[in-house]
């Protein structure tokens, strides 16, 4: 693996016992900053390998590839003592141990924070849990859809009589993944100052509930309440993409000046000067009328004409993309977000590059997303195992190494 010594996290080793989305997404971000992420998998591998569609060779679907670059995979049977000992040797070399196992299962394996930090005190032990350990839901299983419902997100779609529904994107997992990455970065920063380890717990339910409530607690922030729960600008039935003559656009006007320029750009100075829409507080009181008036005007124009007029007047607007049209967006092509690449076993792929930029550092792909146990031999060798010891672990099923099948390789 090529080490980028200018990377912010160069020299930081992260042991990743997570699966699915929240943990792998967090470590994907940390890997992009240069951390050496070692993905520890059981024989069946990360569940996301098998529930996200077909791939040229088994267990390598697109979603897995997009969340597991810059990682190395070692496959160990942690239920066997020698497999657990290999993991403990690996932990001894690490700065961060990250998992999303349930606490009881973690304790049975002796991988809980108290045990590991007694062995390796500088360790940052990070737990991703569905529900915080101090509450009555502690230890329950949780997936993104469970938490979309449990936090009230799904019910927001039912505000105007529709049925509750899930956002078609694992928004709780992805958001919690960023929170995990932030917490690990903060712990690493603190470690640089005092050399001490840390024990972290990131509960997904509470984390997302806090975000949603900060958006929608609204008048109930005060005691007694000054108004109802819910930001009506977001919950109104017309708070959605606006239909044009030939499609849909997304328009947001938060300032009084933007609202004035919107209606003037569309030839409706009468609405620009309407007292119901002229100020922010007035628009809150008349939000449904404002959205309806806007929709009535917008549908008279084509998407192209709207884009031209509103951009000329500095009004925020974007076309309402489909997944297909997003891939063709000219700005994304300008910045090179998606590039053609070749995976060693999956052949030609489209790779999503990191969007952030940082002076003095260019995020690079150091290693493609791995097969289960693809680097088992390499990592065991780094831990001091001899070739004979490694072969013995493989023969006894304590460790597994990926062996490419030439017949299944893409042409």
Q: How much is the average pLDDT of 370-397?
A: 98
**pLDDT reported for residue 161:** 81
Name residue 199's beta-bridge partners: 125
What confidence tier does 149 reach under pLDDT thresholds 50, 70, 90?
A: very high
Q: Mean pLDDT over residues 118-131, rounded?
A: 97
pLDDT digits (tens, 9 = 90+) for 166-179: 999 999 999 999 99
pLDDT value of position 291: 96
Is 70 exceeded by the pLDDT of residue 155? yes
Domain ranges of the chain: 13-210+334-408, 242-319
Mean pLDDT, residues 60-69 taken together = 97
Q: Judge contact between 75 and 50, C-beta under 8 A.
A: no
The per-residue pLDDT of the chain, averaged, comes to 95
Residue 404 scores a pLDDT above 80: no
Statement: 13-210+334-408 belongs to CATH 2.170.120.30: no
Q: Evaluate whether the domain defined by 242-319 bears CATH number 3.30.1540.10.
A: yes
pLDDT for 3 equals 53
Instruction: Locate 314 and state its tokens.
Output: 């500095």
The Cα 62–Cα 161 span in angstroms is: 36
Q: What pLDDT, on the 0 to 100 scale, is given for residue 405?
A: 65
Give the pLDDT band of residue 1 (cuts 50, 70, 90). very low
Contacts of 29 (CB under 8 A, 6+ apart): 177, 178, 181
| Structure token digits, residue 361 | 């550092």
pLDDT exceeds 70 at position 4:
no
pLDDT band at residue 114 using 50, 70 and 90 as cut-offs: very high
CA 362 to chain centre: 21
Mean pLDDT of the 382-399 span: 97
- Asked if the model's pLDDT at residue 73 lies above 80, the reply is yes
Q: What are the distances in angstroms from CA 222 to CA 25, 212, 219? A: 36, 17, 6
User: Exposed/middle/buried for 166, CB within 10 Å: 0-12, 13-18, 19+?
Assistant: middle
pLDDT (tens digit, 9 = 90+) per residue, 287-345? Answer: 999 999 999 999 999 999 999 999 999 999 999 999 999 999 999 999 999 999 999 99
What pLDDT band is residue 382 in, cutting at 50, 70 and 90? Answer: very high
What's the average model confidence in pLDDT over 20-41? 98
Residue pair 174/204 in contact (Cβ under 8 Å)? The answer is no
CA 160/CA 383 separation, integer angstroms: 59
pLDDT digits (tens, 9 = 90+) for 244-265: 999 999 999 999 999 999 999 9
C-alpha 146/C-alpha 164 separation (Å) is 13
């Amino acid at each position: 693996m090529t080490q980028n010594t200018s990377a912010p996290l160069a020299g930081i080793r992260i042991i990743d016992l997570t699966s699915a989305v929240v943990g792998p997404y967090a470590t994907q971000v940390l890997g992009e900053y240069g951390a050496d992420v070692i993905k520890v998998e059981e024989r069946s591998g990360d569940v996301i390998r098998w529930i996200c569609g077909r791939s040229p060779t088994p267990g390598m679907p697109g979603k897995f590839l997009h969340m597991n670059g810059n990682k190395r995979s070692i496959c160990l049977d942690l239920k066997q003592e020698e497999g657990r000992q290999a993991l403990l040797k690996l932990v001894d070399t690490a700065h961060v141990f990250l998992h999303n196992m349930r606490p009881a299962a973690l304790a049975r394996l002796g991988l809980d924070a108290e045990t590991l930090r007694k062995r390796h005190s500088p360790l940052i032990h990070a737990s991703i849990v569905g529900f915080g350990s101090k509450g009555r839901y502690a230890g329950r299983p949780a997936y993104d859809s469970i938490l979309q419902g449990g936090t009230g997100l799904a019910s927001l779609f039912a505000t105007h009589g529709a049925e509750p529904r899930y956002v078609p994107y694992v928004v709780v997992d992805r958001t919690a993944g960023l929170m995990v990455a932030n917490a690990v970065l903060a712990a690493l920063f603190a470690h640089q100052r005092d050399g001490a380890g840390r024990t972290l717990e990131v509960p997904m339910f509470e984390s997302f509930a806090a975000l949603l409530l900060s958006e929608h607690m609204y008048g109930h922030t005060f005691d007694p309440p000054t108004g109802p729960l819910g930001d009506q600008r977001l919950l109104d039935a017309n708070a959605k993409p606006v239909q044009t003559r030939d499609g849909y656009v997304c328009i947001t006007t938060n300032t009084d000046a933007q609202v004035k320029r919107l209606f003037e750009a569309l030839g409706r100075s009468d609405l620009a000067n309407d007292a119901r829409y002229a100020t922010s507080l007035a628009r809150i009181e008349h939000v449904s009328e404002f959205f309806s008036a806007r929709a009535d005007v917008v549908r008279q124009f084509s998407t192209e004409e709207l884009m031209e007029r509103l951009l000329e007047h500095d009004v925020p607007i974007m076309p309402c993309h489909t997944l297909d049209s997003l891939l063709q967006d000219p700005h994304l092509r300008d910045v090179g977000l998606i590039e053609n690449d070749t995976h060693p076993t999956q052949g030609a792929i489209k790779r999503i590059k990191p969007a952030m930029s940082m002076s003095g550092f260019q995020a690079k792909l150091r290693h493609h997303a791995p097969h289960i146990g693809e680097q088992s031999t390499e990592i065991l060798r780094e831990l001091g195992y001899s070739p004979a010891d490694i072969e013995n672990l493989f023969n006894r099923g304590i460790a597994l190494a990926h062996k490419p099948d030439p017949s299944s390789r893409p042409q």
